[in-house]
A = this chain, B = another copy of it.
Amino acid sequence: MLQSKLFTKIERSFPKDEEALNARFLERAGFIYKNSAGVYSYLPLGWRVIKKISDIVREEMDAIGGQEIFMAALHDKRYLKATGRWDVEVVFKVIEGDKREPSFNISWTHEEVIAEIAKKYVNSYRDLPFAAYQIQTKFRNEPRAKSGLLRGREFLMKDLYSFHESEEDLSRYYEEVGKAYIKVFGRCGLKAFYTLAAGGEFTASNTHEFQVASEVGEDTIFACSSCMYAENSEVSKLKDGGKCPKCGEKIKETKSIEIGNIFPLGTKYSEAFNLNFLDKEGNKKLVVMGSYGIGVSRLMATAVEVSHDEKGIIWPEAIAPFRVHLLALGESSAKDIYNDLQNKDVEVLYDDRDVSPGEKLVESDLIGLPFRAVVSNKTGNMIEVKRRNEKESKLMDKKEFIKIVS
């Protein structure tokens, strides 16, 4: 893409009303726009990152048999009334026209909706197991929304739900999802830990969270060399320097970001929606459910939090909005290289603007694409190539460059 055509621009300074590093970088570089506290719009660069993360999530969910759907966002109050969650604090309620009482809420999660849908299709053990997922906007009225995309009042989430005839079958699939999650995070360039946590609003049993170690996270994890626990873990009373209850090793405390979680829901939602099936012996039983989330927009923010330097973002290759940032400094052969890269299907942002070399270099570091390729009078027929995560640049010819980035 020609940078001169991109409608967003890099701001000269960081936004004044953002505390969180992810929002400060992403807003300044034109990836996102802040509409209200915790409410953001994704601009062209930011939306490209979200689409790449979403595609990785889709591939891994499809690989474990997830069927993609897209559920309603406007939920009649019968859904949350059925499970006693209508008055949960973070639920945004919707009023129709002049009515005084709300009759809908906007989607904060979809356990109730998918349980009702599943009831239509599940009759016998032959209809189980199955899993369905969606990538969709969720709305939660967070009292404190100061962490940029880490804790939005509106955010993008992948939610997967699975349906089983027994706790054993749920456990089997639960393990499968856990492995798929580690793949998703790995492909997005994030090292995630699998930790044990208490259930919160969704389930009474223990659940697992996926945490990325970072000082800015809202969560704390306790870990020894082989075990990890979330702060609210029922393993309880863990202390920095204390002993691991499993292996006796010394525990270390680290603040961290939760980027995914998986919940064995049991039969709570099946019970509320009469989601039954007939087993092989003809006995009526409740379906056992699981629910599994990944914060898609939070994942983008996490990548920024854990991968940056003082100059800007350092995008992991798989989720960078473009692979190459091609900078033309003065008269150069950049146009030809741009065309060649496009013909090779290499995603390239070509800074063809009439601004100073200094400005282009500073902005390029801020945007943070994996490869920066500078072409100028000085480089002649050669290209000065620098990886964003390395200090030294290398001079190479077009052929070598295209080979590296293709």
Contacts and interface: CB of A to CB of B under 8 A. Distances in A.
A137 interface: yes
Interface stretch (A40-48, A255-263, A271-279): A40-48
A75 interface: yes
Contacts of A74: 35-36, 39, 92, 106, 139, 153-154
Interface of A: 5-9, 30, 33, 35-36, 39-44, 47, 50, 65, 67-76, 89, 92-97, 102, 104, 106, 113, 116-118, 120-121, 127, 130, 132, 137, 139, 141, 153-154, 163
A113 B72 CA distance: 23
Interface SS of A by simple majority = mixed
Number of copies: 2
A41 B154 contact: no
A69 B95 contact: no
B75 A35 contact: yes
B96 A141 contact: yes
Nearest to A141: B96
Given A35-B75, A39-B72, A41-B113, 6 more contacts: A6-B67, A7-B121, A7-B163, A35-B116, A39-B76, A73-B73
B76 A36 contact: yes
A118 B40 CA distance: 15
B121 A154 contact: no
Contacts of A94: 92-95, 106
Contacts of A139: 73-74
A25 to B, nearest CB: 16
A73 B5 contact: no
A6 B68 CA distance: 11
B72 A40 contact: yes
Contacts of A106: 74, 94, 106
- Residue with the highest number of chain B CB atoms closer than 10 Å, among A70, A139, A153: A70
